[in-house]
Amino acid sequence: MAKTIVQEFTKGLWSEIPPFRLVLGLCPTLALTKSVENGFGMGVALTFVLVCSNVLIAALRNVIPSKVRIACFIIVVATFVIIVELMMQAYTYSLYEKMGIFIPLIVVNCIPLGRAEAFASKNGIVRSAMDGLGMGIGYTLSLSTLAAFRELFGTGAITLYEKPIQIMGPSFEPFSFLVEAPGAFVALGLMLCVMNLLGKK
């Protein structure tokens, strides 16, 4: 049962990787994976919120009365989300415009609240930080992979620093269904399938 600190970190990368294993946080997973840039940006934003809120909640876990814990968690998560929002507006405005409503929606995303309730409120600061970091990186990787798959086959190019890099040759016919909303479901389903096949012993 007792896991080492390293294990707390690595579980978020594979065995409990959020969108594929826990199947949490699907709204941005489906909506923001049209391009690698968006997916990666969302992942980084969520990682920041997750690590900060996990650390703060772990530090306050003995002070917060259990009856109002959800309210307290939401205040903490919301505070960090607004910090991210302000920072993005100030430094990466074009990315902020593309992600739009999904940044404030991190508040009601299951992952930060779920980690706060299931992990940070019961564990120490270091462990919670590692848990948050692992989950965040796992989420970023999943979103980036899914986005890379959709963007590569949907448009034939990968966008980095707002510049599309053509990867497929000129004779490649873009499978544009993948960058449409229904394509997100199909791509996610395929990814889940691959994950399950790989995990099967």
Partner 1 sequence: MKEMIKMVVVLTILSVTSGGSLAFLREKTQDRIEKQQLKFVKGPAILAVLQNVGNDPTESYFKLNPGTKDERSFFVGMVDGKEKFVAFESSGKGFGGDIGLMIGVDLETDQIAGVGVTTHAETPGLGARAKTEKEFTDQFKGKPLTETFKIKNDGGQIDALSGATVTSRGVTEGVTQAGIVYKELKPQILDGLKTLKK
Q: Cβ contacts of residue 40 below 8 Å, gap of 6+? A: 140, 143, 144, 147
Q: What is the DSSP letter of 32?
A: S
Candidates 83-91, 131-139, 158-166, 167-175: pick the segment binding partner 1 (CB under 8 A).
Answer: 83-91
In order of 185, 187, 190, 199, the CA distances from 194 in angstroms are 14, 11, 6, 9
In the complex, least distance from residue 67 CB atom to partner 1, rounded to whole angstroms: 6
Q: How far is the CB of 151 from partner 1 (least distance, A)?
A: 23
Q: Which amino acid is at 108?
A: V
Judged by CB under 8 A, the chain residues 3 through 62 that form the site for partner 1 are 60
* Coil, helix or strand at residue 165: strand
| Minimum CB distance to partner 1, residue 118 (Å) | 20
User: Residues 52-81: x/- map of binding to partner 1 (CB under 8 A)?
Assistant: --------x--xxx-xx--xx--xx-xx--
Counting contacts by CB under 8 A, is residue 107 touching partner 1?
A: no
CA 109 to chain CA centroid, Å, is 10
Stated length of the chain:
201
Q: Which of 111, 132, 126, 118 is nearest to 54 (CA)?
A: 132
Interface with partner 1 (CB under 8 A), residue from 82, 105, 125, 195: 82
Contact residues: partner 1, CB under 8 A: 60, 63-65, 67-68, 71-72, 75-76, 78-79, 82-83, 86-87, 89-91, 93-94, 97
